[in-house]
């Protein structure tokens, strides 16, 4: 009894925390998890400020075209593996839904400190 209450308290804290960080739909949240598990190694900096192997993913990835993005994820590209045997169609859709919530990454810092907007 007491344990259940503690667990519930813990769970609601976790839910509240992730909800406040960003309001994601359940699909986008699933996408974020799949992305974290499979794609971050190449698409997010492993250390603050370090280079990524692949381009940063954002709502403008694959020209903002969901169909093209799906194809890229399924078949891969020159230096990127394809995922059609690893991820289900629905999982790829989840990833795309999440990536579309990500803002465009800032342009690479140029000499003089950006401000190119
Ligand atoms: C082994 C490293 C690696 C992994 C893992 C990887 N990618 Fe990539 N990805 C790349 C590289 C590198 C590119 C750039 C194109 C190229 O050189 O092949 C790319 C390009 C892309 C693009 C096209 C971006 C654009 O704007 O055109 C998308 C979308 C993408 N990846 C999504 C994903 C997703 C989703 C996953 C996880 C399921 C993933 N990638 C996993 C390396 C990777």
- Residue 65's domain is classified under what CATH number? 1.10.760.10
Q: What is the mean pLDDT of residues 28-43?
A: 95
Distance from residue 101's CA to the centre of ligand 1 (Å):
17
Residues of the domain holding 87: 24-99
Distance from residue 43's CA to the centre of ligand 1 (Å):
7
Q: Output the average pLDDT for the chain.
A: 84
Q: Is residue 108 in a domain? A: no
Residue that is written with structure tokens 């667990």 in the block: 7
Q: Is residue 44 in a domain? A: yes
62-87 pLDDT tens trace = 999 999 999 999 999 999 999 999 99
Q: Is residue 2 in a domain? A: no
Q: Is residue 4 in a domain? A: no
Query: Ligand 1 within 6 A of 61 CB?
Result: yes
Query: Ligand 1 within 6 A of 55 CB?
Result: yes
pLDDT reading at 117 higher than 50: no
41-61 pLDDT tens trace = 999 878 888 888 999 899 999
Burial class of residue 12, CB neighbours in 10 A (0-12, 13-18, 19+): exposed
Tally of domains within the chain: 1
- Closest atom of ligand 1 to 38 CA is 37
Q: Are 47 and 34 spatial neighbours (Cβ–Cβ below 8 Å)?
A: no
Q: Is residue 14 in a domain? A: no
Q: Is residue 112 in a domain? A: no
Q: Which DSSP category does 63 fall into?
A: G
Q: Are 82 and 76 spatial neighbours (Cβ–Cβ below 8 Å)?
A: yes
């Amino acid at each position: 009894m007491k344990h259940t209450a503690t667990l519930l308290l813990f769970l609601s804290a976790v839910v509240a925390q992730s909800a406040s960080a960003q309001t994601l739909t359940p699909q986008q949240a699933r996408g974020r998890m799949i992305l974290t598990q499979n794609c971050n190694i190449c698409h997010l900096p492993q250390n603050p400020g370090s280079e990524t192997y692949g381009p940063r993913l954002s709502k403008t990835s694959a020209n903002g075209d969901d169909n093209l993005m799906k194809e890229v994820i399924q078949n891969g590209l020159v230096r990127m593996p394809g995922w059609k045997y690893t991820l289900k169609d629905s999982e790829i859709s989840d990833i795309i839904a999440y990536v579309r919530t990500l803002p465009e990454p800032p342009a690479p810092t140029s000499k003089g400190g950006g401000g190119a907007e």
